[in-house]
Amino acid sequence: MEKKYSVAIYPSQDVIDAVKTMKEYLKSKINWYNSCNSTAHITICEFTIDDSQINIFKQKLVKVCDTFIPLPIYLDHFSFYENSGAFFIAPNEASKNNLKPVMKKIQETLKSLKLKKSDDPHLSIGRKLTSENLKIASQLFTTIEIDFLCKEIVLRELDPVKKQFFVIDTFIFNGNAQPEFVQGSLF
């Protein structure tokens, strides 16, 4: 059976709780909106495959995450994408530069799948907001300073009834260096 999956970074529980409060506050001002009930996360990619294949990709994620070193992430400003109506919390430049190679390596690990990729790390507050609601969000939320240690990624599966992703597995960053293959010479 085909299922939709998402690979994402979950921040610390403190950050998840803070973002939930922001989402609830925005919802109290503009009513229901896309992603108002989703857990705070940074999307790496999404894909749809037959669930009988998922274990193959779980093994690939275990292997790649084993090589990553945990990284501190600092989120220090709000921003938005006008074209998609996304309002989000963005990482500072150093955090963005540290997250991008991790995201790219995970996407490369899953490249045999048809991926919907995210190339710009961000933590969404709302998606598909009207320009009016983007303006309201920008007025409600002006300053932010939160951080967390990115030490794992999660694999999530879409619940087709609730239309929400739920975590089915976690992959820890162990900081184990991958042995480099060196071509030997006979002479």
180 domain residue, yes or no: no
Do 149 and 172 contact (CB within 8 A), yes or no? Answer: no
Give the pLDDT band (50/70/90) at residue 187.
low
Residue 180 clears pLDDT 60, i.e. is over it: no
Helices and strands of the chain, counted as H and E runs: 4, 9
With b meaning 16 or more CB within 10 Å and e meaning fewer, what string describes 94-106? ebbebbeebbeeb
Q: How far apart are CA 103 and CA 115, in angstroms?
A: 12
* Mean pLDDT score, 147-171: 96
Rg value, the chain, Cα: 18
pLDDT tens digits for 137-150? Answer: 999 999 999 999 99
> pLDDT value at position 117?
95
* pLDDT, mean over the chain: 94
Which residue type sits at 122?
H
Q: How far apart are CA 117 and CA 114, in angstroms?
A: 9
Q: Looking at the chain, how many residues does it have?
A: 187
Residue 88, domain CATH? 3.90.1140.10
10 domain residue, yes or no: yes
Q: How far apart are CA 174 and CA 151, in angstroms?
A: 8
183 domain residue, yes or no: no
Residue 133 clears pLDDT 90, i.e. is over it: yes
Query: Between vectors from CA 129 to CA 124 and to CA 135, what angle results, nearest 5°?
Result: 95
Domain that holds residue 21: 2-172
Cα dihedral 103→108→113→115 (10° resolution): 40
120 domain residue, yes or no: yes
Domain count, the chain: 1
50 domain residue, yes or no: yes
> pLDDT value at position 183?
55
109 domain residue, yes or no: yes
Give the pLDDT band (50/70/90) at residue 177.
confident
pLDDT tens digits for 113-126? Answer: 999 999 999 999 99
46 domain residue, yes or no: yes
pLDDT tens digits for 49-103? Answer: 999 999 999 999 999 999 999 999 999 999 999 999 999 999 999 999 999 999 9
185 domain residue, yes or no: no
